[in-house]
Amino acid sequence: MEYNNIRALLEKYWACETTEAEEAELRVFYAAHEEPLPADLQEAAPLFRYFHAEGEGAFEKKEFNMPELFTDRRAPWETAKETKIIRPFWQGWMKYAAVLLAAAGMVYSVNQYQLKLHGQSEETTAFRDTYEDPKLAYEQTQRALQILSRNLNKGKSQMEKLGYFNEAQEIIQGNHN
Amino acid sequence: MSSEVFISLIMPFREKLYRFALRLLGNEEDAKDIIQDAFVKVWNNKDKMGELQNLEAWCMRITRNLALDKLKSRKYRVTDDLERAGEVPATHHSPHQSTEKSDLMRRVHGAIHRLPEKYRTILQLRDIDGLSYQEIGEVLEIELSEVKVNLHRARKQVREQLQNLHVYGIQ
């Protein structure tokens, strides 16, 4: 009875009158019946077994290996949890060195600034009185001025020699005129 | 359209598309390339997806066109060359699978691959992928009547070869 149904379906199949469901039925029938079939049904057996093996059968048996590229499995970077990488502190030594260098630079500049301020105050002290006793200060000043005067007189005596040349030049110029 | 929506719509077809490309090209690497190109093309035309009635047929059409372009560019139209057709079977199977496959099945495979490309594709789309006539028409961009005529001819040719196989035991 079953074979008659299959025979009818086969006739329809060769005439292209079968529906998709009927064709699927044929494929399943031949795939399930490995034992020898009547001669008239045997003709189409390899064809439908082939169709089944290539189509539904490949899915069922997992014979078909889909390339990894087209799987819908998530890529590792999409599924990976937020992992925190802990490295020993010395591995990032450059940043610590940079911080230290910046800190040293700041300390140095502050220090320099303070020194500068301090230096200015020292300069101002130069104008202050260096002597407590006015008399002593007077004597010291007098001495300094005497040294200045003495040296000035030395220069003046030298300048007098220059005066002779000047007079001589004037005399020559006067004769000339 | 987000990539997640796209993936959810297209990914279900990926195996069918890959198998389709593999059958057309007979080479895994080429099939992978074609599928990748097809997905890129589908993604670039994702705005059209809303207007489409049959997304699967559209994807298959893109895959087929790309595969045929590749065949043309490489000039290895294996199906049109009867002498070389015998070499084609089982190129996408591992040696282990090939040895397991019965001799009879290999002969059927060869018989189908000896068909002209148009007939073979229609037969495979119908009998292996289980597409309706309408869907085949959309994939191949041909009329429904042409699908039926070509399928009828394809089945007739395969049947004749199978009959020879049974009568003479050789092919």
pLDDT tens, residue by residue, B45-63: 878 877 777 888 888 889 9
Give me the pLDDT at residue B80, please. 47
Within 10 angstroms of residue B117's Cβ, the number of other Cβ atoms is: 15
Q: In this structure, is residue A89 part of a structural domain?
A: no
**pLDDT of B5-39, one tens digit each?**
777 888 888 888 888 888 888 888 888 888 888 88
> In this model, does residue A75 exceed pLDDT 70?
no
Q: Is B29 helix (H, G, I), strand (E, B) or coil?
A: helix
Q: Residue A52: which residues within 8 A CB-CB, separation 6 or more? A: A27, A28, A30, A31
Read out DSSP for B81-93? -HHHHTT-TTTTS
Segment A70-94 mean pLDDT? 69
Closest-CA distance of chain B to residue A13, Å = 9
Q: pLDDT-derived band of residue A40, with 50, 70 and 90 as boundaries?
A: confident
Among A53-67, A102-116, A134-148, the minimum mean pLDDT is found in A53-67
Segment A1-19 mean pLDDT? 85
Q: Which of A59, A80, A100 is a domain's end point?
A: A59
Is A66 an 8 Å CB contact of chain B?
yes
Within 10 angstroms of residue B27's Cβ, the number of other Cβ atoms is: 18
Q: In this structure, is residue A160 part of a structural domain?
A: yes
**A146 vs B106: CA distance, rounded Å:** 132
Contacts A–B by Cβ distance under 8 A: 70
Q: pLDDT-derived band of residue B100, with 50, 70 and 90 as boundaries?
A: very low
Structure tokens at A49: 């077994």
Say yes or no for a CB contact (<8 Å) between B35 and A14: no
Residue carrying the six token digits 């001669």: A39
> In this model, does residue B170 exceed pLDDT 50?
no
- Our count of domains for chain A comes to 2
Q: Which of A14, A16, A66 to mutate to test the interface with B (most CBs of B within 10 A)?
A: A16
> In this model, does residue A148 exceed pLDDT 90?
yes
A16: chain B residues, CB-CB within 8 Å: 148, 151-152, 155
Query: In Å, what is the CA distance from B162 to each residue of A48, A124, A148, B150?
Result: 12, 120, 138, 18
Say yes or no for a CB contact (<8 Å) between B166 and A42: yes
Percent of chain A with pLDDT over 90: 16
Say yes or no for a CB contact (<8 Å) between B158 and A64: no
Q: Which of A59, A89, A106 is a domain's end point?
A: A59
Q: In this structure, is residue A17 part of a structural domain?
A: yes
Q: In this structure, is residue A138 part of a structural domain?
A: yes
> In this model, does residue B83 exceed pLDDT 90?
no
Q: Does residue A39 or residue A96 have the better pLDDT?
A: A96
The reply to whether the predicted model has a pTM over 0.90 is no
Say yes or no for a CB contact (<8 Å) between A46 and B159: no
CB A47 within 8 A of CB B162: yes
Q: In this structure, is residue A18 part of a structural domain?
A: yes
**A9 vs A28: CA distance, rounded Å:** 13
Segment A74-97 mean pLDDT? 74
Q: Where are the extended beta strands (E) located within chain A?
A: none
Closest-CA distance of chain B to residue A105, Å = 52
Among A34-43, B87-96, B135-144, the minimum mean pLDDT is found in B87-96
Query: In Å, what is the CA distance from B149 to each residue of A21, A136, B16, B92, B145?
Result: 20, 137, 24, 29, 6
Q: In this structure, is residue A112 part of a structural domain?
A: no
Query: In Å, what is the CA distance from A115 to each residue of A43, A109, B138?
Result: 110, 10, 90
> In this model, does residue A124 exceed pLDDT 50?
yes
Q: In this structure, is residue A91 part of a structural domain?
A: no
Say yes or no for a CB contact (<8 Å) between A16 and B163: no
Give me the pLDDT at residue A156, please. 86
**A41 vs A147: CA distance, rounded Å:** 145
Say yes or no for a CB contact (<8 Å) between B163 and A43: yes
A23: chain B residues, CB-CB within 8 Å: 126-127, 130
For residue A14, give its domain range: 2-59
Segment A98-107 mean pLDDT? 96
Q: In this structure, is residue A51 part of a structural domain?
A: yes
Query: In Å, what is the CA distance from B86 to each residue of A34, A43, A168, B19, B162?
Result: 26, 21, 134, 20, 15
Nearest CA to A10 among B161, B155, B133, B171?
A: B155
Q: Which of A10, A38, A59 is a domain's end point?
A: A59
A42: chain B residues, CB-CB within 8 Å: 166
Structure tokens at A81: 């949890």
For B143-160, b/e burial (b = at least 16 CB within 10 A) is eeeebbebbbbbbebbbe
**pLDDT of B101-158, one tens digit each?**
567 788 888 888 888 988 998 998 898 888 888 888 888 889 989 999 999 999 999 8
Say yes or no for a CB contact (<8 Å) between A66 and B97: no
Nearest CA to A59 among B52, B130, B167?
A: B130
Say yes or no for a CB contact (<8 Å) between B155 and A23: no
